[in-house]
Each structure stands twice: as structure tokens, then as C-alpha cells.
Chain A
Amino acid sequence: MSTVSTTSAADGQLRPLVPPSPVTLRINGQDHPLQLAPWTSLLDALREYAGLTGTKKGCDHGQCGACTVLVDGKRINSCLTLAVLQEGADITTIEGLGSEHALHPLQQAFIDHDAFQCGYCTPGQICSAQGLINEGKAQTEDEIRELMSGNVCRCGAYVGILAAVKEVVDAKR
């Protein structure tokens, strides 16, 4: 396959020369067999193909952190990786951290500390905070601020976010 664009087939239909191919993503402990084009971002695969819309698309350029998920326990921006490159990895989204009936400690702390207004950045904030806890580097408020700087909140709920993350970090010590 040397060229990749659309072509005119005999029936006059435009078809991509790179058809979707089978990709199995392991998300929240479950295998999801999907048909994906190579250029599908992990974010789009989660939202549009796996039906997991908890992960949010903000800037789609790795600047806002709304799309943060955990891959093998490490936080990444799902908008800046391709789904096919994550085949074989263990992906955790906000849906995998807690449920309506059993909230994750970070989810409870975000509620307790009023850590959101519109809530759009919240799944990314919480996945990022879980990544921060997994890393085990940030303990003080300054350290948490620095290591949460990849998640932007347009409502400006930073005071509550910091308090919520600090509470869970402290509880883990």
C-alpha cells in the first residue's frame, strides 16, 4: 500500500485505501475488539468506538488534560496517542476508577471539597490525580500543584481540586 487517500472505485463510491483494521483494546479490565483506522486517537477510540464517554475531549492537542487516562498505571493524554499503538496496554478510564454505587476516594473527595463547577475537566483531573498518587512523588501542596499542572480547569476550581487531591494523598501516606 504505497498511497493513502481516497479513490474512485468502479461503483463511483469513495473509499479509503487504508481500511479500518481489528484492534483489541484492554480498557478497565475488559477486552474491546474494535475496528479502527490507524489515525484514530486513543481518545476517539474510547469515546466513539468503545462507548466510554467519561473521558473528555477539550483541546485535542495535549494542552488541557481533559482526556487524561491511565495506561499501565501511568497518566497520559489520550488525544496525543494512536489507539493502535496502545494495543496490548492496560487502559484505565474514569469509568474504571469508581462507579455510581462505589465512588473512588478521589471522586468522593472532589464532591466533599467542591472541586468542580461544570465538571468537564473532572474525569481528567481525577485520572491525573490517580496517576500522581501512583507516582508517589508529590506530598506537599506545592508539589501537588506542580504535578497537577497538566490539567486545566476553566471554571477555576483549583482551590477545591488541590484540597481534594491533598486529602487522598495524605490518606495514602
Chain B
Amino acid sequence: MNPFTLTRAASVDAAVRDFSGHEAAAYIGGGTNLLDLMKENVAHPQHLVGLNKLPLSAIESTTGGGLRLGATASNADTAWHPEVQQRYPLLSQAILAGASPQLRNMATNAGNLMQRTRCYYFYDTATPCNKREPGSGCAAIGGYNRIHAILGTSEHCIATHPSDMCVALAALEAVVQVQGPDGERQIKFEDFHRLPEDHPERDNTLKPGELITGIELPAQGFAENFAYLKLRDRQSYAFALVSVAVGLELDGNTIKEARLALGGVAHKPWRDRAAEDLLKGQPATEATFRKVAEAVLKEAKGQGTNDFKIELAKRAIVRALTQAAAGEQQASDVFTNSNP
């Protein structure tokens, strides 16, 4: 790890000021991803602004009937929060599907959004990587790319966003609240993360110095008919090869409202609005789900070692939609029915 200075900010204003006053500064919340990247010499900030004293850990109802998740609330406290479990079980399950209990205790909600790809080549400083070193090339294209993206890739980067939590937030239409040198603003979740295009070094649309202060969930939580289906190499403590977040609103057997987002397949949580439109007004049948799955993966492109993800994603979509429509949850998830 390179040497750096560190201050612990007491307020959001002070944090933003401190960040702007230093060269190569970085915010540090739980640190579970940033410190790892610093140990690997992938990230080398000169100054860290510590956020764990900020008064941003509350989880509270909003006037609009939604729920606001504080930026520095831990992933664990969020997933086990009674309001989250009752009203947004999709989010609770997605969080509990990720990482380990220790990491979920440390990792913050804002940090979950800010985590970087787990592409092996991004981590390996001996190889070229356009995300780590713009212009150096991409070793994953033509390399071993089993965990890589099949949708929304560019010739410069095929990395995936590794979060489970963010897939649920995309499906739930969360809003990210930020504060920066130019003041406060809100970013729709689907506009927060970006596709690699010509700038894979940019994971998101934050401006320099902007700090996430909270995440707002709208009132509709799809608590009756939802599924978070995560497929991975081992049952626990592994990143998704493919994951699917589904929220449905049913009128009898007819789909009134639908949300569908995929994880492990793209540079950002892959919400597909066209697929949601295809579901609306249709009967909740396997035939409908298969048609939608084909549509979501229509433009998918394998990179060789990850070709299997295309068929895997189709089947996962059908299974997740089936489970959501039936009001069943993923049978293999231990804590699916743990009402507080």
C-alpha cells in the first residue's frame, strides 16, 4: 500500500471540502473494497477522507411513503432492518446473497454502489486493463473471461459490476442522493452506473468530489411477488455468474407491473425496460417468461469462456419470474422466510 494522509470528516460539508482540498483524494467508508485495491496497488490515493463518523447511518421512512437508506448504514444493518425485510424483501435477500457476514457488517450502502469490478485482469497489474490504466488494452477480451459480461460490452472493456444489492436497487427504481462541490442532486439508479463505451475507467456518473449521502426507495416494494435468484460457483460467499431480480404486481394471473434486472452480465446492473413492457398485460405463464428471456438476451454476445452465461441467464430469468409469480422464494436461500 502506498503512503497517504487521512482525516475523519465530522460532516458531509467537511468531507466534500476535505476531498476537494487534496490531490488524488478518495472517500473511505467500510473500506472493504478500496483497501483491498490499495493493497494490490490497483488504487493509490494520496489522501483518504474517512466517512465512518458521518451522521448518515439512519434508515427512515420518507414523506412519499418510501424508505431512505443512509449512505453509511452497513449492508448488514440494512438487510436485517425490519422495514427493509417487510417492505423490500427483494433488497434484503439480494444483500444477504452477497459477501460474508463480516464484510456485510463493514461495507456501507454507498460503498456497495462504489465497489469496482472483480475482473481478474483489473486486479492483476502485470496485465493491460483499460479500466485500471486507460489506453493500455483489455486482457479479458481473448483471455480467460468466464466471469465477464455478455451485454453492453465495448471493444475496450468486458468487465461486470459485481454487486447483488445494486441489482435489487435497479429493479426497485431507487434514487441516489449525492452532495458535491456544486451542491446536492439526485441520480436515478439506472443513470448512476454506466456502460464501458470509450471510458471503462469511469464506473458511474458521479462528478469529482461528489459524495453519496443516501439511497431512496420509492413506496412500491413488490413485497408479495418478487425473487432474487443468484447463480454462482458455490452456494455461499461467491460473486454471481448470473443473478436476476424480479418484482411483479399481479391481477389474478395477469401481470400489471413488472421489474426485471440482471447482475453478473454487464458493466452495470442490467435493468431491461423493454422486457418489463413485454411482461405487462400478459398472463404469468412459462410461455410469457420464455419469450421475455429470449428478448433480454437477444443482443447478448459471449466472449468464449463465458458463452454459457447466455443460456444460464435465460433459464435464470424464467425461473426467477416463475418463483416471483408463484410468491415462492429461492428454495436454496436459507433466510428467505425470516420475518423479524
Contacts and interface: CB of A to CB of B under 8 A. Distances in A.
Interface stretch (A45-53, A93-101, A105-113, A145-153): A145-153
Interface string B233-256: 000110000000000000000000
A103 interface: no
A85 B50 contact: yes
Contacts of B236: 145-146, 149
A11 to B, nearest CB: 20
Interface residues of A, number: 42
B23 A143 contact: no
B65 to A, nearest CB: 28
A143 B106 contact: no
B5 A1 contact: yes
B261 to A, nearest CB: 24
Contact of B335 (A16, A60, A143, A149): A143
Contacts of A131: 101-102, 105
Contacts of A165: none
A146 B79 CA distance: 15
A1 B48 CA distance: 13
- Looking at A39, A65, A151, the one whose CB has the most chain B CB atoms below 10 A away is A39
21 contacts: A3-B23, A4-B4, A6-B3, A18-B3, A18-B5, A62-B32, A62-B103, A75-B102, A80-B31, A80-B103, A82-B28, A82-B31, A82-B50, A128-B101, A128-B102, A131-B105, A140-B334, A146-B236, A149-B236, A149-B237, A150-B99
A74 B105 contact: yes
B338 interface: yes
Contacts of B237: 149-150
Contacts of A128: 101-102
B122 to A, nearest CB: 15
B278 interface: no
A135 B96 CA distance: 14
A76 B46 contact: no
A61 B39 contact: yes
B120 interface: no
Given A38-B6, A60-B39, 20 more contacts: A3-B23, A4-B5, A5-B3, A39-B3, A41-B35, A65-B102, A74-B76, A75-B102, A77-B32, A80-B35, A85-B6, A85-B8, A131-B105, A135-B80, A135-B101, A137-B80, A137-B335, A142-B334, A149-B101, A149-B237
Contact of B48 (A38, A62, A77, A142): A38
A92 to B, nearest CB: 13
Given A76-B105, A81-B31, A150-B237, A2 B22 contact: yes
Contacts of A61: 36, 39
A68 interface: yes
Contacts of A143: 334-335
A65 B6 contact: no
B2 interface: yes
Nearest to B96: A146
Contacts of B330: none
A33 to B, nearest CB: 18
A84 B6 contact: yes
A86 to B, nearest CB: 9
Interface in A113-131: 128, 131
Interface in B207-233: none
Interface in B21-74: 22-23, 28, 30-32, 35-36, 38-39, 46-48, 50, 52
Interface in B315-330: none
A65 B338 CA distance: 25
Contacts of B36: 61-62, 80
A164 interface: no
Contacts of B103: 62, 77, 80, 150
Contacts of B80: 135, 137
B288 interface: no
A147 B100 CA distance: 7
Interface string A1-20: 11111100000000011100
Nearest to B338: A137
B14 interface: no
A81 B4 contact: no
Contacts of B100: 65, 149-151
Contacts of B106: 76-77, 80-81
